[in-house]
Amino acid sequence: MPIHAQAQTANPPAALVLQGGTLIDGSGREPLENAVVVIEGNRIKAVGKQGEVTVPAGSRLVDMKGKTLLPGYIDGHCHLADFMGEIYLNLGVTTCPDITTNSDDWTMAQRDGTAMGKIRGPRIWSTGARLVGAPPSWARGGTERGYLVRTPEEGRAAVRKKKELGLDILKLNEYVAPDVARAVADEAKKVGLPLTCHCLDVFLAAEADFAGVEHHWALGMTSISLDKKMKTHEQRMTGAIVTSDLPYHYQTENFDSIVQAMATKKVSWAPTIATWFRPLSPSAARFKERETSIVDDPNTVYLPPYQREQTLAQYDRYEKYSPERRERAQVGYEKIQDLIRRFVKAGGIIRAGSDPNNGLPGLGVLEEMTMFVESGLTPMQAIQAGTINVAKAFRKDKDFGSVEVGKIADIVAIEGDPLKDIWAVQNVKMVIKDGEIVDREFHKDYRNPIPNVRPWRPTPREIKISPASVSEGTEPQTITVTTTGNTQLNRFHQVSVNGVLLETRFVSKTQLEAVIPQTILNSPGTYPVQVISPGDFTSNSAVSYMIVSFKK
């Protein structure tokens, strides 16, 4: 049955009233059938059964019969990029806690632009640039995308600066020294900012009252004995093993002490299993079909090519594994599922998060809800993982995360009963954010007015081309472009000459081939050659030059 709304008066309505649906309010209470939700302004005024709630005169009535109402989804581990807003809204994700490394200025511009309705997307709570420690010499990535905090005093000063800027969350990386991390946590409590982290020691996070830890490997790496932990971490960070190989090394005999420490101190956890392990899910084929339907939608043509590449390549990666390697990955994934069950049983606050590196933003939240149920959680626990638990973790549950009187009106209407089939959380039919029904469709001409200030997928910086010179009038020439640094090439990278994209062939992670057209080769000159990532104007290589000399 289609959703329809009836205007009761020509004047602006006094309230928006949802009536006739089944409400799962996110609190853990039993579903309320034939529910009525009254929204005035951007807050929920009343909730109850039809016939028991007063509907204000002149309200806009929306028939929810046959639908299930849920709190707006909250991505428990969001990495915001400029192209993501419409995907989040389409999937019913109304809030993005941006656990990221974006610049403070850019992320605040996105937050404010979205709040003003100038940028399409979810509400943003953001860390801005994270606080980082100096990495070991073998670690990939430096400190250029964060606040380097080497002493407790530097850590405290960084916290105060974040507070002054108006950011919502703090994030540390795993290389911040323990004494600095404790100082940051102490200052964060003083100024009222929740703190989360990439970490290898969740006991420290629990001791210092962190709000959360990110990724399955926070708990998993903590379980590994100290003499093996840093070697395993080094192998992952240098590419000797990848994330799917990592959990095979987790030591299950240490799980209980870890989850008990976290649950006792209410340290939340975002395992982010969908981004890496969904190909091992019994629902993998449905996941891939759903993802493909989004990236192939003619109205999502604005998505950068690397988003499709990285999303679908995850399935290809597992298909190329040897039987032995896939079996090890399966054993590792089962260890994570065991850890999830123990964590929730101990009373831990688990968050569903998309971590959109190798998957689609927002969709990973809904996929992870399914994977949580497959791991042994109840559908209600899975729903709470993508709603109220995230709000609790980041100290926002007074206003967000459930459909209760006094809270901000973020609500999704879905087809089906997610308590019987958790897949129903994906069947989103209506999204209400801040008390307003939002346009959740894709628009192929949509562009974020404030694009990214850093590349979402880095392009190799230094390149060499061969041949580097030709004579005028040469037939169309195939050149080889080779990287000279550690950053790898991908299939979405393209070669440009004089700013014009060329026909490009991916050869390997260190090499591309491109065809220089006759129009260029007919004119002597010096021509700039770059590797770029289409759709991401910040991700260009340095220039290498092709010389077209005079014909002798």
Q: Could you report the per-residue pLDDT of 257-293, keeping only the tens digit for each? A: 999 999 999 999 999 999 999 999 999 999 999 999 9
Q: Top-level CATH class of 73-398?
A: alpha beta
Residue 79 Ramachandran class (φ > 0 left, ψ -120 to 50 alpha, else beta):
beta
**Cβ-Cβ contacts under 8 Å for 36 (sequence gap 6 or more):** 17, 18, 19, 20, 46, 47, 48, 49, 50, 52, 53, 55
Contact present, 342 and 256 (Cβ < 8 Å)? yes
Does the N-terminal peptide bond of residue 136 adopt cis geometry, omega within 30 degrees of 0?
A: no
* pLDDT beyond 70 at 456: no
Give the percent of the chain with pLDDT over 90.
Answer: 78
Closest CA to 456 of 511, 512, 535: 535
Please state, as a whole number, how many other Cβ atoms lie within 10 Å of the Cβ of residue 552.
5
Q: Could you report the per-residue pLDDT of 407-438, keeping only the tens digit for each? A: 999 999 999 999 999 999 999 999 999 999 99
Rounded distance, CA 509 to CA 239, Å? 13
Rounded distance, CA 549 to CA 47, Å? 77
Q: What is the domain partition of the chain in residue ranges?
A: 1-71+401-439, 73-398, 463-549
Place of tokens 């590196």: 357
Strands 436-437 and 60-63: unpaired
Closest CA to 349 of 293, 395, 313: 395
Q: How far apart are the first and last CA of the chain?
A: 76
Q: What is the mean pLDDT of residues 102-108?
A: 89
Q: Top-level CATH class of 1-71+401-439?
A: mainly beta
Fold type of domain 463-549: Immunoglobulin-like (2.60.40)
Please provide the average confidence, as pLDDT, over all residues in the chain.
92
Q: Could you report the per-residue pLDDT of 338-354, keeping only the tens digit for each? A: 999 999 999 999 999 99
